[in-house]
Structure 1
Amino acid sequence: MVDGEPPLPALPVPETFPFPYPQPYEIQLDLMRTVFRAIEERKIAILMCFQVESPTGTGKSLTLLTSTLSWLAANRRRLDQAAEDSLRLRLTADDPDDPPWVIEHALKSRLTDLRAAQEVQRTRLAEAREKERQRRKKATGAFRGAKRVKVDHDTVVGAGDKGDEEFMPEDTAGGDGTGVDTESEGGNLSKEVRALMAKYESGRPKMIEVEKEDDVPKIYYTSRTHTQLRQLTAELLKTSFPAKIDSNDRPSMSRTTSTIPDAAKEEEEGVSLVPLASRRQLCINPKVQALGKKSGDERMNEACLDMQKSGSGGRCDFLPKKDDEAGMLDMRDAVLVSVSDIVALGKETCVCPYYATRRAVRQSQLVTLPYNLLLQKNAREALDIDLTDQIIVIDEAHNLIDTLISIHSTILTASHISQATSQLTQYLARFRTRLKPVHALWIRQTLSVLSGLERICTAFATESSKDKGKAGGEMLDTIQLMSRLGGSNDQVNLLEMVKYLRESKLARKVSGFAEKTAEEVAKKGKTVSNSAVKHASIAAFHQVEAFLLSLTDARDDGRIILSTEDRGGKPTVTMKYMLLNPAERFKEVVESARCVILAGGTMEPISDFMLQLFPSIPRDRFSTLSCSHVIPKHNLLTQVVPMGPRKMDFEFKFANRGDEQLLAELGAVIGSTIGLVPDGVVVFLPSYAFLDKVKAVWGKSGLLERLSQKKQIFYEPQTSSEVDQTLRDYAHAITSTSTSTSSPISSATTPLKSTTKGALLFAVVGGKLSEGINFSDNLGRCVIMVGLPFANMGSVELKERMKYVEGLPGAGKDAAREMYENLCMRAVNQSIGRAIRHANDYATILLVDKRYATHRIRSKLPKWIGEDVQVPQDFAGVAKGIAAFFREKRERGLR
């Protein structure tokens, strides 16, 4: 806008939204209005909204999508109108004496020019949409230049395919010759964002350039896992926002048109979604995939980058050359016009989905990505993500503080240091005579730093063996660590060293050379190539580089923890850089974005977020909403179990968890409960170690066998690959018995007569089943929370974090204690929230620990639970409450 123009008119909050179901819950309407208002007013929204699914499938994600996309559509119409008004104002100001009809004629001419410029992009996408229709009809590739590629699946690109020149350090920073940046380099600067109204301010039409496209207003939607993001895609398809591609369909968008000719067409063509992910999720090259499975993600990234250069063992068949990008651009357009399986589309068209999605980001209205790609500055720069004036939605945001701390923390083991030192020494010996002086100098300095780190680890190992108290850990800041390196390392400029490592790509060169050397030795029969060992070797120097990078970013809000950990059966010294101040890393996101939305079911208490993430932001910039639950109160029974049937108090402190009498009392509670509850029961325990102890004690006493006679028993696996199968077996055990047996529960103390009825699942708080898994309906008629999963107070890391929080401006005298309790209760709330998932669901929750009866702990439970918690005097009262609860459900005919 030019000087003197009025500000854009405020968008009124709609009374209704284009929700795909006829009658959203009132809390969903409240949520959509709050989100819309927060975006319009440029606020930070903290939304405490648990899953609000109904039997028809509506939910939190769908509500967030509807409200944010509704604002985007309304804002687009506002900007179109503002652009026309701005142009009319400018024409009037340029020639104030012109009659109105002359101004209107000039305005129409300019708008026609503008339409011509917009038509370039619209036509291109229309062609892509038509190709997508034809592709779906014929199930064949319809892309310009697309061809079937024959790939030798048995051939793996390895370091042995390279000449030694490939291992020489690079002299300057920059790209890899492909015209696309990579997150493994991460050093590129973000391009200056173009003003949203720039195309309207120009009096002449502009041709859209492939490399300089406008970054349209969009939503960046991030969550913890790719599975959760894929679920979001399914939710989007339920709405009217994405375009319909079926051959006989026209886009079903219903929007108010702008006065700019045909400006509504872009909206009618639908919202585009681009899923950003790593090569692990998106790569379709079998050679690179094989390397990833065999040697890990780091080797996968290196192989991909190597295959982008001709003469390095073969260019990737799925990545078009820079001077012939027709296939890549067509794939980008296909991503923009269709919400579809990107990987399947890439395989069919033989074009890399990993790079195609990155090319599509700037023109997309909705981008999904995992936490680390949004929250790390280097990752955003590598992906050319500019958050300026964009909408950020962070789902499952109860993890945000811990996630920021985790992704900005780095662990370096003594083994990593030793391997990296050995690799770099061999590398220097091999290329000494061919290295330029500047490379030789930096490599020697890097070796000197590595030697210093080795000395620190050796000294700590010696001291810990003498002083057992020190084995728990020692805390250093960056200055203290550098002073211990010895030699001339106090003169080393870490900033310059890290800059050199990144620009020369030395980690890639050294690890590639090390892999080649190992393969040559293996071929001579001198050793056996072990993929796990090889992966560790490749990752070693990359870990060193990441650790040194953390040290350069430490300032006063990072610490280095020296400790001894059991790795592979033997003690190993580790150095961990730990971030203490997540607010500083999140600050850039908050300051750039138009609106940041933090949504989660267990956000309360929000005091941690205010203190640790937003200490300097005025409180009037926040908008908060705490939803009540959609279920009627009689569908939930929450009871504290302060003691067992034998009157033994329950207090599962860390020191008590091995008490076999206490475990026997817990077993009696579970045994009685599962006899009163139909279908599925989920028991959450504080840790995997506690789960192992329970299994050992109950197995020895015969209790597990007795429990298995009532319900089939399952345990949470410790490996992710086994989780889905465990859940399928658990669900099958419930559905098979619930359909074959229907004997009612006759009284509060009479167990079920059938051999087994339903299933019993033991899970771990903070484990794989405590988040993202819904135990709705008969999968979770009872959730039993055993103890309070407090973190280990003896942890050096936790102590330092609590000390840091205490010293923050505005922190009260109990800030550290609050943080400690909140960490625990957030995990508890996340676990017990797995049960009730929609309005017609019902369940009982048992909180097995007398500390849950205290006001301080109960006040930290979700409001929809904490307001109606019952505390019976003994277990007989608990059992009576459970029996009455399910009797009432049977009498109402509920299943």
Structure 2
Amino acid sequence: MTEQGEGGTPPGPSLPTPESFPFPYPKPYDIQLQLMQTVFRAIEDGRIAIVESPTGTGKSLSLLTSTLTWLSAHTRRQTHSFEDALRAQLRADDHDDPEWVIEHSVKARLGELRSIQEAKNERLRRAREKERKIRQGNVKGAFRSLAGAQKKKLKVEQGKDDKTQRGDREAEEEYLPDDKDQDQGEDQDGPYLSKEVRELMSKYEASRPKAHQDEEEEEDAPKIYYTSRTHTQLRQLTSELLKTSFPVDRSLDILNQDPSSHEVGSTGVSLVPLGSRKQLCISDKVRALAKGSGGDERMNEACLDMQKSGKPRCRYLPAKGEEGAMLDARDAILASVKDIEDIVTSGKELHVCPYYSTRRAVKQSQIVTLPYNLLLQKNAREALDIKLKDQVVVIDEAHNLIDTLLSIHSTSLTSLHLSTAISQLTQYLARFKNRLAPLHAIWIKQVLSVLQGLLRVCLCFKETYKGTGEILDVNTLMEQVGGGNDQVNPMELVKYLKESKLARKISGFSEHLAEQAQAKEPKTARSASARHASIAAFHVVETFLLSLVDAKDDGRVLLSLDELPSGSTVVTIKYVLLNPAERFREVVEQARSVVLAGGTMEPISDFLQQLFPTIPRDRFATLSCSHVIPKENLLTQVVRVGPRKTEFEFKYSNRDNENLLTELGAVIQSTIGLVPDGVVIFVPSYAFLDKVKAFWTKSGLLTKLGDKKELFFEPQTSGDADSIVRDYALSISSCQAALTSGEKSKKTGALLFAVVGGKLSEGINFSDSLGRCVIMVGLPFANVGSIELQERMRYVEGLPGNGPEASREMYENLCMRAVNQSIGRAIRHANDYATILLVDKRYASPRIKNKLPKWIGEDVKIQQDFTSVARGLAGFFREKREKANRGRE
């Protein structure tokens, strides 16, 4: 285990001891205690923590315990600090007041705050009581009565809306561009109030007592924003939280408690899981739009459309001024720890939108879980009203962070998108030219001119294509657009697109025309997916233009020629982000502390160089944990040569070498004869996997391997991956059952071929018998011929203080991070055991070996011949069998 962190920060409070961390198990492992102390100290000192804790070491529990322990201490400290600050302020305001007057004022103010807290506790108590009744089956008087009244009311309103019929011309008014500050629904005052009236209303709101102001104005409670890659990983976090002592015991009868005994935080931690409409929407009408391409965007548009004035309102979203149901839904979320599925169920019971009720609950919560893209994109944070100022951000599975930042800020569109968008915009102009305000007409013609210029760039590239792509900076692209468009202010253009909501208007109008066409010619209507893709075309174009505006000098535009399934070609224009640090800067600057955590964070140098190039190194705390398994439960060997002394070096140029493939086959054949149960082999690419399958089928080796273990191969379609893993596990179980029953069987388990960076290299656990041996074939370096990778390497090389060595380091780190993720699939808990074979002589070099996780790299055995490898495997599993036999005696 290694821990770093230079001085420079004033010392905070002493670190909690094992006894003071409320860990859910009697005694945490030493590495768990180290991780909790490192994270606690980093948050207290306002530092950036980068921690590596292998899967199976209780990383999630350690992160939750340390962050919530700090939050609890911080909340208590804030309460005392507020009292002292209030007393000092009162003394400063009036020096003549006697001490008893000041103390009386302090007590009065604290009493007000206590009343607010008690009111909140009472609300949550009632919400938990409703949950208790539901669990007991007594739903009457809990949610049903309120939901019934809400349904009845909304049915009447819906009936009125359904009876309203409008002519086509009147209906099309909604597709006109919005004006700046135009009424967007009941959330704004509308266009009918004068400036003077608005100012008076603002003064009135400011003068109202705090207790009577809208609850949306409340300040954010101190909280932890906890993000990971997928909702599945966040759901696992929720289940881990329920193991701790922080949540309220949901089986507890709250009514038997003395309400006056509640203190701040005594109601338990409140967790709010944020998701998209796709996860949380309960409207059948809106959810139907999620099917097919462009579904997410169509759902968003439909939801926002139903909030406009004069439009049929979503039946699950209470109107302004009638928000009792929404507040009840918010309190139900805060009352006890729930995952997204629980909240959706609760929303259906209450007949209230879970998407908006979770957003209302964020400010009062202590921990908010959300997937990467909702935290890392500024637009998403603004849409969700996420304020990171002085809050704690924990990013789990952070080995993906750099790639995720680059991916979500890179956008592409094709010449087909441009042609469709131009056609839609031309049709739109023709229909509405006499109804557009002059300013809108000017801007829309300008947008059309830019799109036509981009299409000309695509056609020119296609005509002069020389077999390779082309790289441009944003300024060069705008110059090539021509027609004076290089003089257009992209910032103003994008500002207009946002204010006018032009993409939504164009898409809505296009869908309106498509529905009319389908009604007239139902038999000739296009497929739903093609129709959705067409309608979403302008959104794709808008997203690309937004990227160009945000490009600064850290992005490039790539032009390439791609072949469609139909055989025709299309030009792709892709904006590629090169500098993830700029997009991550706001998170780092606003948050009190940022914690990056993962099972395999090595090589850490990439994070320091690419994410935090300007941050002083004394602001970092790093920790690399060893594993909780005993050292004898893991054997890692570098296989330099095969049984016939052929040296392994799977460079791209060597991958067609039949001697090398034959030698690799001999290694695998020998290995599966020594290893029981499951063996997983990771190869560099799908192309390489197809090559070895074809060659070994021809040589007959694949049949020999199949006689010993049942063979499985990773599919290229993600939908089939789960079934392959399930069949692989069942095959191993069947072999174990046959062995236990004394049946004779040639097969000793199963053999699974997987691809580095594929569906099985991350998120799948090959624990216990599923992964007694992991074989890594070669080093999966990215294609150095990729113009995108070349440009990224040039960018890193050109950063201040860098040179050619920096780009080489980045290239190696990309490879080794993928390797570390794959081999980390083997050991998944404290009692697991496995062996790892690294089949390539380059793993023996110090440069590569040092980029392995510490818990693997420290004990790697570099074998000079295959006999030593086989002897190591045989001895490892013999010792495990003998230990198991002793345990049964």
TM-score scaled by length of structure 2: 0.89
Amino acid at match of 2:77: R
- Rate the CA distance shift 1:721–1:176 in 2: closer, same or farther, 3 A: farther
Deviations 1:54-93 (A, max 9, x none): xxxxx10111000000001011111111222233334455
**1:770 aligned partner:** 761
Match of 2:780 in 1: 789
Is 1:607 paired with 2:611? no
**Which residue of 529, 532, 556 corresponds with 1:532?**
529
Specify which of 558, 562, 569 is matched with residue 559 of structure 2.
562
Residues 1:643 and 1:447: Cα distance change in structure 2 (over 3 Å): same
Structure 1 residue 35 displacement after superposition: 0.7
* Structure 2 residue aligned with 1:15: 17
Give 1:805's aligned residue.
796
CA distance in 2, matches of 1:688, 1:610: 32
Q: Is the 8 A contact 2:56 2:827 kept in 1?
A: no
Quote the Cα distance in structure 2 between the aligned partners of 1:780 and 1:400.
27
**How many Å separate the matches in 1 of 2:175 and 2:846?**
64
Q: Secondary structure at the match of 2:506?
A: helix
- Check conservation: 1:220, 1:366, Cα contact below 8 A: yes
Is the partner of 2:572 in helix, strand or coil?
strand
> What pairs up with 1:104-253 in 2 under 5 angstroms?
104-138=103-137, 140=139, 142-143=142-143, 145-147=146-148, 163-173=171-181, 176-177=184-185, 179=187, 206-207=211-212, 209-246=214-251, 248=253
The question of whether the paired residues in 2 share the 8 Å contact of 1:117 and 1:205 is answered with no
**Residue in 2 that maps onto 1:256:** none
Measured in 1, the distance between the counterparts of 2:433 and 2:227 equals 46
For 1:30, the aligned partner's letter is: Q
SS of 2:560's equivalent in the other structure is: strand
Structure 2: distance between partners of 1:393 and 1:876: 46
- Residues 92 and 323 (structure 1), Cα distance of their counterparts in 2 relative to 1, 3 Å cut: closer
The one of 541, 545, 548 aligned to 2:542 = 545
Q: CA deviation at 1:163?
A: 2.3
- Give the 3-state SS of the residue equivalent to 1:386 in structure 2: coil
Q: 2:473 aligns with which of 473, 477, 480?
A: 477
Q: 1:264 to 1:86 in 2, by over 3 A?
A: farther
How far off is 1:271 after superposition? 0.6
Q: 1:828 aligns with which of 819, 823, 829?
A: 819
Q: After superposing the two structures, state which structure 1 stretch, 440-449 or 588-597, moved more.
A: 440-449
Structure 1 residues 321 and 97: alpha-carbon distance in aligned structure 2, compared to 1, 3 A threshold: closer
**Aligned-residue offset at 1:539:** 2.0
Mapping of residues 321-332 of structure 1, within 5 Å: 321-332=319-330
Residues 11 and 45, structure 2, Cα contact 8 Å, conserved in 1: no
Aligned to 2:509: 513
**Does residue 874 of structure 1 match 2:865?**
yes
Shift in CA distance, 90/457, structure 1 to aligned 2, threshold 3 Å: closer
Give the aligned partner of residue 192 of structure 2: none
Is residue 2:42 matched to residue 1:38?
yes
Contact 2:129 2:254 in 1 (8 A): no
In 2, Cα distance between the equivalents of 1:661 and 1:743? 41
1:169: how far off?
Answer: 1.3
* Conserved 8 A contact 2:121-2:262: no
Are the structure 2 counterparts of residues 681 and 362 from structure 1 closer, same or farther at C-alpha, using a change threshold of 3 Å? same
| CA separation of 1:433 and 1:362: change in aligned 2, threshold 3 A | same
Q: Tell me, in whole angstroms, the C-alpha distance in 2 between the residues paired with 1:8 and 1:661.
A: 62
Q: 1:450 and 1:330 mapped to 2: Cα distance?
A: 48
Query: Does the 8 A contact of 2:86 with 2:106 survive in 1?
Result: yes
Structure 1 contact 743–753 (Cα < 8 Å) conserved: no
Of 293, 305, 329, the match for 2:291: 293
Aligned to 2:6: none
Alignment match of 1:723 (pick from 710, 721, 724): 721
Amino acid corresponding to residue 428 of structure 1 in structure 2: L
Write the distance in 2 (CA, Å) between the matches of 1:618 and 1:252.
50
1:67 is aligned to 66
**Which residue of structure 1 lines up, in the alignment, with residue 874 of structure 2?**
883
Distance 1:492 1:803 in 2: 29
Partner of 2:197: none
C-alpha distance in 1 between matches for 2:105 and 2:313: 53
Instruction: Decide whether the 8 Å contact of 1:173 with 1:504 is kept in 2.
Output: no
Q: Secondary structure at the match of 1:475?
A: strand
Match of 2:519 in 1: 523
Match of 1:191 in 2: none
The more displaced of 682-691 and 720-729 is 720-729
User: 2:52 aligns to what?
Assistant: 48
SS of corresponding position for 1:373 = helix
2:432 alignment counterpart:
431
TM-aligned CA deviation for residue 249 of structure 1: 5.7
Contact 2:128/2:254 (8 A) holds in 1 = no
Aligned pair in 2 of structure 1 residues 93, 826: CA closer, same or farther (>3 Å)?
A: same
Contact 2:12–2:41 (CA<8 Å) still a contact in 1?
Answer: no
Separation (CA, whole Å) in 2 of partners of 1:640 and 1:538: 54
**8 Å Cα contact 1:859/1:866 also seen in 2:** yes
Match of 2:838 in 1: 847
Shift of 1:456: 0.8
**Equivalent residue for 1:650?**
648
SS in 2 for 1:624: strand
Q: Per the alignment, do residues 371 and 263 of structure 1 end up closer, same or farther by CA in structure 2, a change over 3 Å counting?
A: farther
SS of the residue 2:28 aligns to:
coil
- 2:500 aligns with 504
Find the aligned partners of 1:139 and 1:842 in 2 and give their Cα distance.
49
CA distance in 2, matches of 1:864, 1:252: 48
**Residue-by-residue CA offset, 1:336-393 (whole Å, 9 max, x unaligned):** 1121211222222221111111111111100001111111111111111110000000
**In structure 1, distance between residues paired with 2:741 and 2:525:** 61
For residues 399 and 138 of structure 2, the distance between their equivalents in structure 1, rounded to whole angstroms, comes to 43
Deviation at 1:39, TM superposition (A): 0.6
Deviations 1:508-564 (A, max 9, x none): 111122222223323333733212212211221111101111111111111101112
- Give ranges in structure 2 of 5+ residues lacking alignment: 1-8, 156-161, 189-206
Alignment-derived partner of residue 420 in structure 2: 419
Instruction: Look up the SS of the partner of 1:368 in the other structure.
Output: strand
Kindly provide the CA deviation profile for residues 684-722 of structure 1, in whole angstroms up to 9, marking residues without a partner as x: 111222223333333344433332222222222333333
Conserved? CA contact 2:709–2:751, under 8 Å: yes
Q: CA shift at 1:500, angstroms?
A: 1.0
Contact 1:52 1:838 in 2 (8 A): yes
Contact 2:738 2:745 (8 Å CA) reproduced:
no
- For residues 167 and 651 of structure 2, what CA distance do their matches in structure 1 show? 55
**Aligned in 2, Cα 1:126/1:250: closer, same or farther, shift over 3 Å?**
closer
Percent of aligned pairs with the same amino acid: 66
User: Counterpart of 1:13 in structure 2: which amino acid?
Assistant: L
Number of equivalenced pairs: 838
* Structure 2 counterpart of 1:184: none
Could you say what secondary structure the match of 1:519 adopts? helix
C-alpha separation between the residues in 1 aligned to 2:458 and 2:754?
A: 37
Residue 591 (str. 1) matches residue 589 (str. 2)? yes
Residue 201 of structure 2: aligned partner = none
C-alpha distance in 2, partners of 1:853/1:24?
Answer: 35
In the TM superposition, what are the counterparts of 1:323-722 in structure 2 within 5 Å?
323-340=321-338, 341-464=342-465, 467-468=466-467, 471=468, 473-525=469-521, 527-568=524-565, 569-722=567-720
Change in Cα spacing, 1:145 to 1:553, as seen in structure 2 (3 Å) is same
| Offset of residue 104 of structure 1 | 4.2
Which residue in 1 is equivalent to 2:203?
none
Distance (whole Å) between structure 2 residues aligned to residue 670 and residue 160 of structure 1: 73
1:892 alignment partner, SS class: helix
Q: Distance in 1 between matches of 2:34 and 2:12?
A: 19
Q: C-alpha offsets along residues 475-516 of structure 1, whole Å, 9 cap, x if unaligned?
A: 100110000011121222211111111111111111122222
Distance 1:753 1:495, change over 3 A: same
**Residue 594 of structure 2 aligns to a residue in which SS?**
strand
